[in-house]
Amino acid sequence: AQSVTQPDIHITVSEGASLELRCNYSYGATPYLFWYVQSPGQGLQLLLKYFSGDTLVQGIKGFEAEFKRSQSSFNLRKPSVHWSDAAEYFCAVGPYNTDKLIFGTGTRLQVFP
Amino acid sequence: EAGVTQFPSHSVIEKGQTVTLRCDPISGHDNLYWYRRVMGKEIKFLLHFVKESKQDESGMPNNRFLAERTGGTYSTLKVQPAELEDSGVYFCASSPLGGGTDTQYFGPGTRLTVL
């Protein structure tokens, strides 16, 4: 069955520190891959997506993610975190043959000044 | 351009009562999706409308949930009667026709609490 695992429920970092949020997926082929962010009171906002091609994907707000087929991973990174990045982050896969997104359980990011 | 809107933002009801959630998609978006996040769990797909037709309702948990999209515009999701396990955040998303998974725009969600 298709699934997405985000092993870190809660991460705390200091402002200015680097960040990596982990995501592993289980799928028979290479799916479409996404990272979404939800800030308090806001909807889910798409940070970036991977469909094919270059395995390093650039997104909004200075985020990037790297697709590693051998590890079935799609980790999200940011070199220097800002206090406004505090939010909940969701990794998702989009199977080819449906419109339904399959999400992980989310990682809540807390940023200390 | 207005984004996806959902009403209410919060709803607290007692077990056995009925609640209706509303979603207004982005204007012109024919695809409309409902998802749900039970506390601490993943966001799960409930169903997908194309215009007023249900394209995929494989994620609907049981027959206490009824989704409608009259006229292919806004959609409602009714829970009747509500049970404790229905508590969670209900998200709506929309996308243009042919958009698929890569262009789903999400609303802020409705937090439902069943006591």
Model pLDDT, residue A53: 85
What does the pLDDT average to over A85-113? 91
Q: Give the tens place of pLDDT for each residue, B53-63.
A: 999 999 999 99
Q: CB distance A94–B102 less than 8 Å?
A: yes
The answer to whether residues A34 and A23 touch, using CB atoms and an 8 Å cutoff, is no
User: Is pLDDT above 70 for A81?
Assistant: yes
- Pairing mode of beta strands B88-95, B110-114: antiparallel
Percentage of residues of chain B with pLDDT beyond 70 = 96
Model pLDDT, residue A106: 96
How far is Cα B57 from Cα B72, in angstroms, rounded to an integer?
Answer: 16
Model pLDDT, residue A98: 75
Rg (chain A; Cα; Å)? 13
Between positions 34 and 53 of A, the ones with CB within 8 A of B are: 34, 36, 41-45, 49, 51
Q: Give the tens place of pLDDT for each residue, B87-103.
A: 999 999 999 887 666 67
Q: Is A105 on the interface with B (CB under 8 A)?
A: yes
DSSP secondary structure of B37-78: E-TTS-EEEEEEEETTEEEE-TT--STTEEEE-GGGS-EEEE
Which residue of chain B comes nearest to A34, CA vs CA?
A: B102
Q: Is B109 on the interface with A (CB under 8 A)?
A: yes
What does the pLDDT average to over A58-86? 95
Model pLDDT, residue A27: 80
At residue B99, the 3 state secondary structure works out as coil
Model pLDDT, residue A13: 97
User: Is pLDDT above 80 for A23?
Assistant: yes
How far is Cα A101 from Cα B100, in angstroms, rounded to an integer?
Answer: 9
Distances in Å between the alpha carbon of A74 and those of A25, A58, A61, B2, B105? 8, 12, 17, 31, 21
What does the pLDDT average to over B1-23? 94
Q: CB distance A45–B3 less than 8 Å?
A: no
Tokens of A106: 């989310």
Q: Is B28 on the interface with A (CB under 8 A)?
A: no
Query: Which one of A98, A101, A107 would you mutate to disrupt binding with B, by most B Cβ within 10 Å of its Cβ?
Result: A101
Model pLDDT, residue A28: 72
